[in-house]
Amino acid sequence: MKVLAPPGRAVPHVFSMEETPRHRFCPYSERNIHTIPQWSSLPQDIRFDIRVVSSVFPFRVNRYVVDELIDWSSVPEDPIFQLTFPQRGMLEPDDFTVMANLHWRSASGETIRAEAQRIRRKLNPHPAGQTTLNVPIFDGQPLKGVQHKYHETVLYFPATAQTCHAYCTYCFRWPQFVGIEGMRIAGREIRHLVSYLKAHPGVTNVLFTGGDPLVMRAERLAALVEPILDPSLDRIHTIRFGTKSPAYWPQRFVSDPDADDVLRLFERIVASGRSVALMVHYTHHRELETPIAREAVRRIRGTGAVIRSQSPVAAHINDTPGVWELLWREQVRLGIVPYYMFVLRDTGARRYFEVPLSRAVRIFREAYRHVNGLARTVRGPSMSTVHGKVEIAGVTEIAGERVFVLRFIQGRDPSWVGRPFFARFDPRASWFDDLRPAFGEPTYFFEHEAS
């Protein structure tokens, strides 16, 4: 049995391929959902709802999530079940009724797909100007697979990373997985990205995203990363990977056949004088509680890479201060840096998972005040708006008016960063567009400056 560990590191747990699924993902999807061992134990109405909703939203889950993370005795309320299995409330009632009737009538696959596409197009598939404002023009053409919203950071969406180990039901990247024509963001030529980086000396970090770039084989991942390690691009000082893999498939870093190769790639990046940051979406503390999940964290950190955690506050999953307190405490204990609490973007199944902004602030502050300074690296609640990342710093009263205190953490214009501004308090608001400027102002300051 082969034991995998970074050189010179103690191995507190031993994992082998025999202890994990033989196939790399062993995924379940809407096509083979009935093969999940626990499927038949679910009430018939829940099974039907899942089938209906998965006709619209992408569904994928693996054996590790099913067997190790979901508490089936607590289904359907279990948070990891809510996080990975489609729920009836994710569709508007009228849309659910239409899709349900098609399933009851055993309508053709073509009819169901057409109705699903109609519903999807109503759900703001790419919010915050992702396909219009964020895609750069290079040599007179839109640069496929690239987004450049903030001055120092470029995002790259590899075509070979357009899947995940499991699909989070709230994910704002859902259009990448459903085959809407013209909606997928994907790049096939790393040389185009390299040329763009050389032409933009202000860029200091590259974020590989998807999907999940760490689903790729190590050799494919290396083929994308290593051109950026060229000495001519030494001003690229950080390479980031947006990923859920340490939470949903920790075997990727422990017992997959090329787990060591991925870790060696991280080491090569660090040896080049750059930093590696895994931007991991830990949504619930349970994702950190299995031995193999902790071993994955240990091994990743052993390469010199930093793990930063970010995720949204979501109803039915983590909308209590206690969940966040436990999550941040466990992250700090394992050496993970708490980074962001996000507000869900205004897309997809947002209505099912949304939390009012005023409540999100209370959840954040209550959890924040119960952790020590090492966990207070976390920022939030933060909204990734068309203008930039807007943090809700709090709720207060100024000149007799109750207001949200807001500020930019990131902005399309760097001069906006850190500048406070105010919105009228609205207990029903759950996204930035629901807010209105305070003190009778017709617009926010950045709307004047951006015009």
pLDDT digits (tens, 9 = 90+) for 344-370: 988 888 999 999 999 999 999 999 999
What is the pLDDT at residue 185?
Answer: 74
What is the pLDDT at residue 131?
Answer: 73
What is the pLDDT at residue 4?
Answer: 37
22: pLDDT strictly greater than 70: no
What is the pLDDT at residue 237?
Answer: 96
Three-state secondary structure of the chain: CCCCCCCCCCCCCCCCHHHCCCCCCCEEECCCHHHCCCHHHCCHHHHHHHHHHCCCCCCEEEHHHHHHHCCHHHCCCCHHHHHHCCCHHHCCHHHHHHHHHHHHCCCCHHHHHHHHHHHHHCCCCCCCCCCCCCCCEECCEECCCEEEEECCEEEECEHHHCCCCCCCCCCCCHHHHCCCCCCCCCECCHHHHHHHHHHCCCCCEEEECCCCHHHCCHHHHHHHHHHHHCHHHCCCCEEEEEECHHHHCHHHHCCCCCHHHHHHHHHHHHHCCCEEEEEECCCCHHHHCCHHHHHHHHHHHCCCCEEEEEEEECCCCCCCHHHHHHHHHHHHHHCCEEEEEEECCCCCCHHHHCCCHHHHHHHHHHHHCCCCHHHCCCEEEEEECCCEEEEEEEEEEECCEEEEEEEEEEECCHHHECCEEEEECCCCCCCHHHCCECCCCCCCHHHHHHC
Determine phi and psi for 135, rounding to 5 degrees: -85, 120
Q: What percent of the chain has pLDDT over 70?
A: 92
Higher-pLDDT residue of 79, 144: 79
Give the model's confidence band at 174: pLDDT under 50 very low, under 70 low, under 90 confident, else very high.
confident
**Mean pLDDT calculated for residue range 367-395:** 96
127-163: pLDDT as tens digits: 767 777 888 889 888 888 899 999 999 999 998 888 8
What is the pLDDT at residue 292?
Answer: 97
**Mean pLDDT calculated for residue range 164-169:** 89
108-124: pLDDT as tens digits: 999 999 999 999 988 88
**Mean pLDDT calculated for residue range 210-233:** 94
User: 110-124, 245-259, 315-329: lowest mean pLDDT where?
Assistant: 110-124
**Mean pLDDT calculated for residue range 176-198:** 82
435-446: pLDDT as tens digits: 999 999 999 999
What is the pLDDT at residue 450?
Answer: 56
6: pLDDT strictly greater than 90: no
Q: What is the mean pLDDT of the chain?
A: 90
Give the model's confidence band at 1: pLDDT under 50 very low, under 70 low, under 90 confident, else very high.
very low
